[in-house]
């Protein structure tokens, strides 16, 4: 009623009624029809199911994760068809076979590839938004004939890697290929070719992007994560991050932060959780504490930790 706040032109009454069924605004005082061409904005409920309980007006929204964008039709399900009498069952099976044969090579390629994409996305446990984006990238690649001469697996994994990079999900190519058991060289060549052909610009992942994931693996507190981010931001200001791998830098920053906050983890523990060598962490660690002037602070932290260990030993005795 808020959008029909007006008075009756005949009796100047504000006692109006809206008849949504007939699209009219009527004055209750004198019966004058004030408006008779209202647009019905309510849902147009249409019911076609046998039980009459499904009141949805339309189906699911269009999605790139389905070969037909989710707008196609199917001729019965297996259980429905096999419950029919013999003649009708054979007729519907034949109709379904013709329907499948009428699909184009593009539709068949998408049908098989998107099943593989859903499987890989499930293994990598990526969010639905990234799965949707990777399906869209694969769809564009197929329509531009960019998948010819390349394995379906490498194109699918490459599309997921591109989507993850676009959504700033910290997943390295090594990690994705290791989990999916895909060939890293093929995936690397494929994703670069697709990104270049589709004019997709990929920004490099920064070391800060990996902090939450690695900190979660190592069970660090929020204070340690915040300290590691502060250390990396200072390192970026001093241009210590240029030319260095982001994973090694994030691992070294977490190691320094853990020492400062008292949640110490050994370099071996961090290296195993992150997937780099102890030498990489040690080199990045030395650069960070020297350039950021944390050497004295680190020595004090190490001394305090050693004192705590000595006190523990005395109590045990």
CATH of residue 27: 2.20.25.10
pTM (2 d.p.) = 0.68
Q: Number of structural domains, the chain?
A: 3
pLDDT tens per residue across span 94-130: 888 887 777 778 888 888 999 999 999 999 999 999 9
Q: Are residues 284 and 219 in the same domain?
A: yes
Query: According to the model, what pLDDT value does residue 38 have?
Result: 77
Contact status, residue 154 vs residue 118, Cβ threshold 8 Å: no
pLDDT tens per residue across span 238-281: 888 888 888 889 999 998 888 888 888 888 888 888 888 889 88
pLDDT-derived band at 135, boundaries 50, 70, 90: very high
Helix (H, G, I), strand (E, B) or coil at 18: strand
Phi, psi of 26 (to 5 degrees): -120, 140
Q: Are residues 225 and 176 in the same domain?
A: no
Among the candidates 197, 223, 241, a domain finishes at: 197
pLDDT-derived band at 4, boundaries 50, 70, 90: very low
Of 118, 103, 119, 117, the C-alpha closest to 68 is 103
CA dist 28 and 32 (Å) reads 8
Contact status, residue 171 vs residue 124, Cβ threshold 8 Å: yes
Is 181 a member of any domain? yes
pLDDT-derived band at 19, boundaries 50, 70, 90: confident
Instruction: State which residues form the domain around 124.
Output: 119-197
Is 242 a member of any domain? yes
């Amino acid at each position: 009623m808020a959008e029909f706040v007006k008075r009756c032109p005949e009796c100047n009454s504000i006692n109006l009624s809206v008849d949504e069924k007939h699209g009219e605004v009527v004055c209750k005082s004198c019966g004058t029809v004030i408006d008779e061409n209202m647009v019905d904005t309510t849902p147009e409920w249409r019911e076609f199911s046998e039980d009459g309980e499904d009141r949805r007006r339309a189906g699911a929204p269009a999605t790139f994760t389905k070969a037909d964008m989710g707008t196609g039709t199917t001729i019965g399900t297996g259980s429905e068809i096999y419950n029919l009498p013999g003649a009708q069952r054979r007729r519907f099976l034949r109709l379904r076979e013709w329907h499948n044969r009428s699909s184009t090579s593009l539709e068949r390629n998408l049908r098989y590839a998107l099943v593989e994409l859903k499987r890989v996305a499930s293994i990598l446990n990526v969010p639905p938004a990234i799965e949707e984006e990777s399906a869209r990238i694969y769809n564009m690649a197929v329509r531009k004939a960019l998948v010819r001469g390349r394995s379906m697996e490498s194109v699918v994994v490459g599309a997921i890697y591109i989507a993850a990079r676009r959504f700033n999900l910290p997943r390295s190519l090594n990690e994705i290929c290791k989990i999916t058991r895909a060939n890293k060289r093929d995936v690397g060549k494929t994703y670069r070719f697709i990104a270049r052909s589709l004019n997709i610009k990929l920004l490099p992942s920064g070391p800060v992007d990996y902090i939450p994931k690695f900190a979660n693996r190592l069970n660090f507190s929020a204070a340690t994560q915040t300290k590691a981010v502060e250390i990396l931001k200072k390192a970026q200001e001093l241009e210590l991050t240029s030319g260095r791998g982001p994973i090694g830098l994030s691992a070294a920053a977490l190691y320094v932060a853990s020492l400062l906050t008292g949640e110490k983890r050994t370099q071996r523990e961090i290296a195993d959780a992150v997937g780099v060598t102890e030498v990489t962490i040690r080199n990045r660690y030395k650069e960070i504490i020297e350039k950021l002037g944390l050497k004295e602070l680190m020595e004090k932290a190490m001394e305090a930790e050693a004192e705590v260990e000595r006190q523990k030993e005395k109590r045990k005795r």
